[in-house]
Structure 1
């Protein structure tokens, strides 16, 4: 057991401090400073800050040359009001660590503590604290940062806690594990009119009313199907908040979801053609844009084998669980660099779901996750 009770108490205190100070995507300044201070106390061989925004990376070098193993967690919280009633609840109204990133960061802090006491025999370990995971922009920003070139990994691993799985059970499989997704914003422009003479204007109302169910009807299958698609209408608006004006513009926001990136390209094309056809039929101008773009996460066989061995060695039960998930994850971009894999650590079958206002990360998972990663490090780097 690499952690004493004192270690675990200190890690729990860190997690609760992070929990009290949630910062949303792109605004993780305090969180980054706090994690930098924690990592400095572990005396890494290299510490990189400001990575892709507020990202932080700690590098622990082995005595001999060897491969680079990257382990990644997330810095950001959510723009959701916390309603747990805990003594360490969020101190920031409208923001909360309701996805468990506070626990993921603390898990990597535990790994840093263990590596401070015993470096790997060879190669190097890169502990990456990535910003802006929740909006899908953080991984791309980190990978585009010139400072990341010196951190280029040969293998990338990550975890996410998952309510619904038994506490401490690890969901793991080869292949797609998280769906691709992106937000599509459609803007229709016509011409306003007096509400008593709507016929003198061009309202986007008929187009929007017809298009919302048409987009939703593109959904088919389940995430286990190669051709799975899901379109969720998340927001819509029409004209001004007034009774005297017939509307002249409006928007539909929809989240598009597919099992793979190739499927996403096809779904985007279909959704765009539907919108263009509707705009033409109703004499409207159309513009569209994409937001919160997530690539699908695909676990490489060789990376899964590393995690399977580590889980077995540590006596952590694992299996394919209910993977792939419909939810998306920014970790998917790391597979463009090297073999990568993520496992999903059960938070309890009856635990509040991720992004729920009453969710809180189970602290029992901190040493479990840290032990699995440390075992993977020892197995690969000695």
Structure 2
């Protein structure tokens, strides 16, 4: 069990991380801080530079048994914070507004518990993942040769969730977070003087048709296996001027579905429609893929283990609040391990994730490590 001094130190550590948020792919200072804290826990090994700035601590019992991985995230968001907290971000325009600072503190709390009561069998891996917010971190970590040595049999993660009662856990087998991808659709024609627009090739009509028609490919609806949603998030036509007819346009869309295969089909249909409209008007087309997230699908056995741990700790849990339309860069860990994502309630009236006034509830720092430690003990002894 974490002591009061542990919780005071972990809270201060969390707030120090909160003051120095680093964006996806640029988490060098955060990674260095985490690695130093892990080395102080006498882990068997501390690995750095995994998939970019990823850090992992291995606690090896030396006895045969499964490898159980617990994950937190390193990165922050390019959103200015307005929480007004004394520990608010000191980096203009950046903020830990998804709670990754709290997730890191919880995982370090788990490290303290493990260092005092090592596993009897197998290994425990604490992974601090980079670039979660842009959907590239998990793939980079898994594709890193260093990950082979710590590849888990089980993988677990906790994400705080405003809207759920404080400390209440949302959990289910099957879909937890949707797959998603962003497409940046660039249409290029030819500019002209505004007095003679017929001498150019405007992408305006094609842009208008795509804005109107693309959402029909993903109308949303019930979050079941057939769910697919296409959201237009940004559009730009030409320059902000009165003298030039436009020659370029940009359209950003986010595609979302309950299954990776459904997302692939939705993306293929979106690309085909964009190609058709561009060809109709004689436009050049370029499409860039951004922020790809696999669906997070909870394994039934991993969920059973998590529920048993929650019951032992008398932590309330249900399927409230899940599955979520939002994506999470944890799903790929489930392709090679039995995995489960748990959503830990941050309070029913707490500011939403990614809101400028959001701040991680420090009260969760005590419960997260206990949940993880109980799961680890139940699997490894």
What TM-score do you get using the length of structure 2 for normalisation?
0.98
Runs of 4+ in 1 over 4 A off after TM superposition: none
Contact 2:219-2:230 at 8 Å conserved across structures? no
1:280-337 deviation line (CA, Å, top 9, x unaligned): 2222121212110000000000111110111111110111113210000000110111
Matched, 1:206 2:205: yes
- Cα distance in 2 for residues equivalent to 1:13 and 1:6: 11
Contact 1:98-1:356 at 8 Å conserved across structures? yes
Matched, 1:250 2:249: yes
- For residues 343-358 of structure 1, the aligned pairs below 5 Å read 343-358=342-357
- Cα distance in 2 for residues equivalent to 1:128 and 1:291: 24
Secondary structure at the residue paired with 1:330?
coil
1:127-162 deviation line (CA, Å, top 9, x unaligned): 000000000010011011111110010100101000
Contact 2:234-2:252 at 8 Å conserved across structures? yes
Show the counterpart of 2:110. Answer: 111
1:90-110 deviation line (CA, Å, top 9, x unaligned): 000000000000000000000
- For residues 9-28 of structure 1, the aligned pairs below 5 Å read 9-28=8-27
Show the counterpart of 2:35. Answer: 36
Secondary structure at the residue paired with 2:157?
strand
Show the counterpart of 2:298. Answer: 299
Show the counterpart of 1:153. Answer: 152
Matched, 1:277 2:272: no
Show the counterpart of 1:83. Answer: 82
- Cα distance in 2 for residues equivalent to 1:198 and 1:329: 45
Matched, 1:194 2:228: no
1:231-259 deviation line (CA, Å, top 9, x unaligned): 11111112233322111111101111111
My pick for the range that moved more, 205-214 or 159-168, is 205-214
1:76-126 deviation line (CA, Å, top 9, x unaligned): 000000000000000000000000000000000001111111111110100
Shift of 1:178: 0.3
- Cα distance in 1 for residues equivalent to 2:181 and 2:255: 5
Matched, 1:267 2:250: no
Q: Where in structure 2 are there 5+ consecutive unaligned residues?
A: none
Contact 2:163-2:348 at 8 Å conserved across structures? yes
- Cα distance in 2 for residues equivalent to 1:209 and 1:289: 19
Secondary structure at the residue paired with 1:122?
coil
My pick for the range that moved more, 238-247 or 8-17, is 238-247
Show the counterpart of 2:335. Answer: 336
Contact 2:223-2:325 at 8 Å conserved across structures? no
- Cα distance in 2 for residues equivalent to 1:139 and 1:287: 27
Show the counterpart of 2:372. Answer: 373
Show the counterpart of 2:48. Answer: 49
Secondary structure at the residue paired with 1:32?
helix
1:167-190 deviation line (CA, Å, top 9, x unaligned): 000000000110000001111111
- Cα distance in 1 for residues equivalent to 2:41 and 2:321: 37
**RMSD of aligned residue pairs (Cα, Å):** 1.0
- Cα distance in 1 for residues equivalent to 2:179 and 2:284: 29
